[in-house]
Structure 1
Amino acid sequence: MNVALGGTFDPVHDGHHALFERAFSLGDVTVGLTSDSLAPKTRAVDRPVRDYETRKAALADELEPLAAAHDREFDIRTLHEPTGIATEPRFDALVVSPETVDGAERINELRVEDGLDPLQIEVVDHVMAEDGDRISSTRILNGEIDRHGNLTPAASGRQSE
């Protein structure tokens, strides 16, 4: 099976890791990584994003051991538009998080319009931080949690006040 997923992945965290694990459990994986011009448009929160090459290197470091553990191949490609690579005929499945299901359904609509079979949509639930809220890149960059969802010392201090 050829599996697609996409995102900005900055920084990579355990929520992303859950997406990657599910994708590799299904087949070979192609990750669409948002271009520098697309990345700011894909987030609800305005925040800085590292450049494409830096994000790509960090993503590759994350994917290599997972691919090896599942005996799978992976590729990282640049996303220039939100529907990205998933509209290409070669894919069978798309791995998404709950907030991106609508986009996945739109991709399937485009595929059907183009005479392609719809993708199998695999929804991976959010991974929760130790405080019960979901792990997100924004929370990590705000210093609330680390990539694994552990509260940072600063956040722990705020919580006990």
Structure 2
Amino acid sequence: MNVALGGTFDPVHDGHHALFERAFSLGDVTVGLTNDELAPETRHVERYVRSFEERAADLRAELEPLAEKYDRSFEIRPLSEPTGIAVEPQFDALVVSPETVDGAERINDLRNERGLDPLEIKVVDHVPADDGKRISSTRIVTGEIDRHGNLTPDRTGREETR
């Protein structure tokens, strides 16, 4: 099975890791990584997004051990439009988070218009942080949590010890 998923992945966190695990459990993986022009447009909150090259290097480091674990291959490709690579005929499944299901359905509408079979949409639940809220890149960038969902010392009510 050929599996697609996409995103900005800045920074990569445990919620992303859950998406990657699910994708590799299904087949070979192609990740559409938002290019430098699209990345700011996909943000729900305006914030700095690192360059495509920096994000791709971090993503590759995250994907390599998973590809080895599942004996799968992977590819990282630039994503220049929201529907991206998933409208290409070679894909069988699309792994998404709950907030991107509507986009996945839109992709299947486009595939239908092009005479392609719909993708199997695999939804992976959010990974909660220690406070029960979902882990997100924005929460990490603002210093609220780390990539594993641990609250930062100033958010737990405890003083940082030196």
**TM-score > 0.5 by shorter chain:** yes
Number of aligned pairs? 158
Instruction: Indicate if the aligned counterparts of 1:98 and 1:124 stay in contact, CA closer than 8 A.
Output: yes
User: Quick one: percent identity of the two aligned structures?
Assistant: 78
What's the counterpart of residue 124 of structure 1? 124
Q: Deviations over 1:73-120 (max 9, x none)?
A: 000000000000000000000000000000000000000000000000
Gaps of 5+ in 1: none
What's the counterpart of residue 43 of structure 1? 43
Instruction: Indicate if the aligned counterparts of 1:140 and 1:147 stay in contact, CA closer than 8 A.
Output: yes
The amino acid across from 1:121 in the alignment is I
Runs of 4+ in structure 1 displaced over 3 angstroms?
none
| Cα distance in 2 between the residues matched to 1:65 and 1:32 | 18
What's the counterpart of residue 86 of structure 2? 86
The amino acid across from 1:10 in the alignment is D
1:157: Cα distance to partner? 2.4
1:156: Cα distance to partner? 1.1
Gaps of 5+ in 2: none
1:99-118 paired onto structure 2 within 5 Å: 99-118=99-118
| Cα distance in 1 between the residues matched to 2:105 and 2:43 | 19
| Cα distance in 2 between the residues matched to 1:43 and 1:62 | 22
1:134-149 paired onto structure 2 within 5 Å: 134-149=134-149
What's the counterpart of residue 18 of structure 1? 18
Report the TM-score when normalising by structure 2: 0.96
| Cα distance in 1 between the residues matched to 2:89 and 2:70 | 24
